[in-house]
Structure 1
Amino acid sequence: MRLRRLLTVTATFIALAISGAVLAAPASAAPGDITIRHAIYTSSCVEVNSVNIRMYRCGQDPRQRWRQVDLGNGYFMLANRASGGCLLHVWGHITASNQECLAEDSRQWWRWEEQPFGGFLLVNFSGACLSMRNDTSANKNEVRVFDCDGNIKQLFRPIPD
């Protein structure tokens, strides 16, 4: 079963590379809303659930809509359209949260880092990456912040609405 999953993921990366489906790096000040989709499990999107951040099946829910707010320093904040709060890395923890947007709070500073075989890392000012807790497309999959290593749980795509 593990071998089958590894082969499937490898084949997906190769297909993306061959097809030219790798996106150009997104602008840090893209106008309008984006949906943050997982690069492999493309039916899964980052969503605010109260103050918690989880992966849910992509749809038209405003809790899945984010606006990149350029900070002018190479980073941006991700403001959620439904809550008005921003994606935040809770220091000293692996928790991703939704809190009041404060431009001076570097825990809310993010940047996209393109990966060679498709997808992007969403890297925080601290150098840690947004990551799904589990390698699955199931609803309610917790979103956390871990050391960046480029594993498939950390690969996302910003999709303009």
Structure 2
Amino acid sequence: MKLKYFAVCLFVLILAAGISAAYATDVDFEGGHSFTMPDGYEIVEGQNTTEDIIMEKNGDNRIVFQYWIDEYEDLKNIEENYNFGDIIKAVMEDAVIGNEENYTFEDYDVTQIDYKVQGIQCYSYILDNGKEGYVIHHIAKEDLKDLNDPDNVIGDLVKSIK
């Protein structure tokens, strides 16, 4: 089920359109947790579910924040049994998979995958701190380094998770 959900969110990330603004900076999500939305981003109304939050900036930079607080074991199963590059390729046949990197950021083990779909640069970050798991998808106009790069807005978002 989570694999299907992941695939649907990737599809939504690339194809979803139409937003209306929300003006909150802090975003609350399941389990009493929150994060600070990156500057200039707005919540995409009407496209969020109980397990993901979609944000957009200027109509072309999009972030999908997925979380599985109560279903951490599902994330572990996906990490251990599936190759995210293969999943992305299965969902979007024209995806060109780039690098997959593994590193540590803050308290998280991170798997970062970069790929392009129809020439659009995309990134997926799988975050795991041993208790909770998050997946963040990001469409960005610019090429980004890993989360330690100060120009990568996802790094600030991850640092703000409470």
Does TM-score exceed 0.5, indicating one fold? no
Please report the TM-score for the alignment, with normalisation by the length of structure 1. 0.27
Please report the TM-score for the alignment, with normalisation by the length of structure 2. 0.26
Which protein has greater RCO, CA pairs closer than 8 Å, 6+ apart?
A: 1
Report which of the two has the higher share of helix: 2
